[in-house]
Amino acid sequence: MRLHRLGAAASVGLVALPVLALAVAAARGSGDLWPHLIRHVLPQAAVETAFLLAGVGAVVLVLGTGTAWLVSCHRFPGRRALSWALVLPLALPTYVSAYAWLDVMHPAGVVQGGLRALLGISDPRAIPLPEIRSLPGCIMVMGSVLYPYVYLAARTAFLTQGADVLRAGRGLGCRGLRLFLQIGFPMAWPAIAAGTSLALLETLNDVGAAEFLGVRTLTVSVYVTWITRSSLEGAAQIALTILALVAALLVLEGWGRSRAQGAHAVRESARPDRRTLSPGAGLLAMLFCALPVLLGFVIPVSYLVWAAAMRVAEFGLPPGLGEWIGNSAILSGAATLLILPAALLLAFGARGDCMPDRRATTDAALLRASLLGYALPGGIAAVGLILVFGGLDELTEALPWVPLLSGTAAALVLAYFVRFLAIPAGALDAAYSRIRPQMDWSARSMGAGPGRVLRRVHLPLLLPALSSAALLVFLDAMKELPATLLLRPFNRETLATALYAEAARGTYEEGAVAALALVLVGLPVIALLVAGGRPKGERRGRASFR
């Protein structure tokens, strides 16, 4: 019985469907629009996207690696509190942070208003502060939110793999920056590269932050081409350009990690090796670690709390808030319930039908193919699915049993499926690697079939990883903006789209409550990531398999 393989193949086919639809649409051409796109849209969008990726990559690399090195390998005032506070910016979607910073840095906002009041100046143009609606402003905002991807990966590498190597380096006289550059950074580079690639993929996926801050990226161009110019073919051609960039990023990241893993492979250490910094160095380390927390979490969240409180005090809660929360929860919950069984089938099949002496090649390939969905920006997946659903709608007239999907909640749930299947699939595959094969042998020797082994043996052991993955999928679906904007049913708002609409109208106070609600949803998930840089459920699961 190969039902799990059939389900896994169907899941991977759904992930691949938007890409195939984009290729077909792009091949059909966009008439007179494509020359216009090549001449006036793509050059500027490609340049701004390249600079944005380079800038965000540099920011997350410096902030994530630097803070991880300091809190993992040194002692200084506030280290313990900062070690978990550095994860908090992950609770903010990039567009929420951009939304907050826009109003904070507005000429009539808190910063400039406070400075004018302090200096006794009435002219709003008298204080030439840096413009937040710019490419450098966008790099700062997105980098301060996305650096935890690098921080978590690098901290885990420093804590679990580096202590013995670092002790040996110090014993040979290697100290300070030299120790980091010659031993610490090369040793942790595979993890750092993986975290940086995730941050760059999130940067490519972004629509809201870039549009709010006046940066016309390729992803924003996809949205504008389809909505403003009503050209799905033109949007598909730009989307394929983005996919080529994504593929190049993934190949480059994989090449870099493969070269570094063999050269710098080290065994796991029992405990970290920390050195106490001098008072002056300790103060600088504390300030360096506090800066990204301040920029990426404290300032934007403080603004959201203040703006939401002002709005509620004057007008009460937004009348549509309950509907926004309900729509977000229903759509995210439905996607989570659809994704988890599919991910379980993929991970179970990749284990090799409970046969520990071999790993099923086809099933393992299906699992790896499913992981590519996370590299597909939400807006790109949405455009591809719109093309697919349009074709199905044409069949509905001839075949009444074919469901009408365009403009329905089912279409959006399928987009979430394509986008986030990789999260639980990868987590469950990692959890399966910690289940000893002897358990499967014992169950099979007593006559248990694959289905019973999955239910009675694997599921109880996978429950912690499954729970953590469910929370992450739910949170990411709640925060997803590009796909939700393009595919949501008409007149049905979610927290993400309501915030986007208010920001687009310039009524920032109205959207502050929705933005704060999104942040509050993310905080419980972040709590799972605080201890040890990984979800608590996964750490408990690892201990139970030893």
Question: What DSSP state is assigned to residue 86?
Answer: T
164 in the same domain as 108: yes
410 in the same domain as 528: yes
Q: How confident is the model at residue 538 (pLDDT cuts 50, 70, 90)?
A: very low
What are the tens digits of pLDDT across the range 290-315?
999 999 999 999 988 988 888 888 88
For all residues of the chain together, what is the average pLDDT? Answer: 77
The predicted pLDDT at position 253 comes to 62
Residue 305: inside a domain, yes or no?
no
Residue 323: inside a domain, yes or no?
yes
Q: Which of 268, 298, 328 is the last residue of a domain?
A: 298
What is the Cα–Cα distance from 134 to 115, expressed in whole angstroms?
A: 21
Phi first, then psi: give them for residue 269, nearest 5 degrees.
-100, 155
74 in the same domain as 18: no
Collapsing DSSP to helix, strand or coil, 276 comes out as: strand
- CB distance 424 to 477 below 8 Å: no
CA dihedral 191, 194, 198, 204 (to 10 degrees): 140
286 in the same domain as 368: no
pTM of the model: 0.79
430 in the same domain as 294: no
Phi first, then psi: give them for residue 276, nearest 5 degrees.
-80, 125
Residue 303: inside a domain, yes or no?
no
What is the Cα–Cα distance from 325 to 3, expressed in whole angstroms?
A: 36
What is the Cα–Cα distance from 330 to 494, expressed in whole angstroms?
A: 10
The predicted pLDDT at position 142 comes to 95
141 in the same domain as 164: yes
423 in the same domain as 348: yes
374 in the same domain as 275: no
Residue 424: inside a domain, yes or no?
yes
Name which of 306, 363, 369 is nearest 509 in CA terms: 306
What is the Cα–Cα distance from 102 to 118, expressed in whole angstroms?
A: 21
9 in the same domain as 108: no
357 in the same domain as 243: no
Strands of 70-201 (E only): list them. 74-75
Residue 6: inside a domain, yes or no?
yes
The predicted pLDDT at position 320 comes to 84
Residue-by-residue DSSP string for 322-386: HHHHHHHHHHHHHHHHHHHHHHHHHHHHHTTTT-TT---HHHHHHHHHHGGGGGS-HHHHHHHHH
Name the residue with higher pLDDT: 138 or 359: 138
Number of independent structural domains in the chain: 2
The predicted pLDDT at position 307 comes to 85
249 in the same domain as 132: yes
Name the residue with higher pLDDT: 124 or 489: 489
The residues pairing with 529 across neighbouring beta strands, listed in sequence order, are none
The whole domain housing 74 covers 31-298
353 in the same domain as 247: no
Which CATH number covers residue 22? 1.10.3720.10
